[in-house]
Amino acid sequence: MASSHQASGIRPARLSAAEIADNFADLHAPFDAHEAAVAADRCYFCYDAPCMTACPTSIDIPQFIREIQAGHADSAAKTIFNQNILGGMCARVCPTETLCEEVCVREVAEGKPVEIGRLQRFATDQMMAKGVHPFSRAARTGKTVAVVGAGPAGLSAAHRLAMKGHDVVVFEARPKPGGLNEFGIAAYKSTDGFAAREVAWLLQIGGISIEYGKGIGVGLTLSDLQTGYDAVFLSIGLTGVNSLRAAGEDKAGVRDAVDFIAELRQAEDLTALPVGRNVVVIGGGMTAIDAAVQSKLLGAENVTIAYRRDRSAMGASRFEQDLAASRGVKLMFNVMPRAILGAGAAVEIELEYTEVVDGRVRGTGETVRVLADQIYKAIGQTLQQAPEGLEIDGGKIRVAADTGRTSVAGVWAGGDCASGGDDLTVTAVAEGRDAAEDIHASLMG
């Protein structure tokens, strides 16, 4: 592996440890108490609160900001956690610029919204730093629920179910909990092991145990879980990655962006992580941005995002696009991969210019070549193994909106594996919470 890396220009330690540390510092510095008070003072505390409507977890944003303004950060944190138990991570990774902050009256009137995300982080961080957990369990119900997947949806469901008095067993195929919060987002958005600390804090509610190395098809079947538990919640994510369908896709230097991000997030020494001289990322979502920016931060000289539609169609927000550009990432639009060139290892990628006709992308026949010794695929993920008997809709488990009920009695699902919603941490949290409420009502009704 090392020789192919060297031959293709992929090597570690392109930057010093000090440069790496500076590059991967916290994207948004946290507020201190004075800064939080000043930021809270800008809120109009709107009666109809468009920010609250725009939040997938429906946090009472005016309420928690008012509590910060009054100097009651603990109360603010509880207001947040009541709706979103992963409010600390969501404060870091939510695209607030296209959710709550986009519809903020200050944004509409002045072009500068109340910094809701940073205020949320201020409140949640200070409570977690004290080791305080704001909720306690109800009396035990004697019911047990299996949750498959310890990502945002699964953790949210597990916490709400435990709070209601149920005993919850979480099964996680990976050796650590957190799902995409732990393995799938840029390191500069979640620093100092925050994802792991948040899970440990969440588990303080009690009544939740986690078994690792187990998942559907990995020591577990859905029928076994149905037999052994009173209810089952599936939050198994999307582990398959779509193909580029380009010649040479199997060459050395071509890999899935999600694997790269996971490797980076788990690396103890980022200077030891090999990175190419010329990196091309195929895709237009958050994963593409995260892979591209982090490649640049690791020392890649030229990083390009190649997206098959125009800028307005990108899944990544304009803030994320601008962040990439500010880090030196080049964005190419209306291009798709045709071939990866090189003798055994990638050297160049041939891209075909595209046009969109009746909503569909098609090639124009005109091509361009870009140097690329490292190519990342960030073109969406698929449900790799659908549990037996469940209805599938558009490659995901079909669920009822608002309840997460699947086509099989006693089985619920949420998060990226489930139909509906968007692929955001905050949406997954909402789906896990709402499914837990429906599971509770079903078990106790």
- Band the pLDDT of 8: cuts 50, 70, 90: low
Instruction: Mention the CATH class of domain 242-377.
Output: alpha beta
pLDDT in tens, 397-418: 999 999 999 999 999 999 999 9
Instruction: Please indicate whether the domains covering 144-239+383-444 and 242-377 agree at the CATH topology level.
Output: yes
Reply yes or no on whether the pLDDT at 271 is more than 80: yes
Q: Output the 3-class SS for the chain.
A: CHHHHHHHCCECCCCCHHHHHHHCCCCCCCCCHHHHHHHHCCCCCCCCCHHHHHCCCCCCHHHHHHHHHCCCHHHHHHHHHHHCCCHHHHHHHCCHHHCCCCCCHHHHHHCCCCCHHHHHHHHHHHHHHCCCCCCCCCCCCCCEEEEECCCHHHHHHHHHHHHCCCEEEEEECCCCCCCHHHHCCCCCCCCCCHHHHHHHHHHHHCCEEEEECCEECEEECHHHHHHHCCEEEECCCCCEECCCCCECCCCECEEEHHHHHHHHHHCCCHHHCCECCEEEEECCCHHHHHHHHHHHHCCCCEEEEECCCCHHHCCCCHHHHHHHHHCCCEEECCEEEEEEECCCECCEEEEEEEEEECCEEEEEEEEEEEECCEEEECCCEECCCCCCCCCEECCEECCCCCCCECCCCCEEECHHHECCCCCCHHHHHHHHHHHHHHHHHHHHC
- What does pTM read for this prediction? 0.95
pLDDT in tens, 112-139: 999 999 999 999 999 999 999 999 999 9
Q: What pLDDT shows up at residue 7?
A: 45
Percentage of residues in the chain having pLDDT higher than 70 = 98
Looking at domain 144-239+383-444, its CATH superfamily turns out to be FAD/NAD(P)-binding domain (3.50.50.60)
Fold entry, domain 33-129: Fumarate Reductase Iron-sulfur Protein; Chain B, domain 2 (1.10.1060)
**Domain regions of the chain by residue span:** 33-129, 144-239+383-444, 242-377
pLDDT in tens, 181-218: 999 999 999 999 999 999 999 999 999 999 999 999 99
- Band the pLDDT of 4: cuts 50, 70, 90: very low
Q: What pLDDT shows up at residue 129?
A: 96
Average pLDDT of the chain is 95
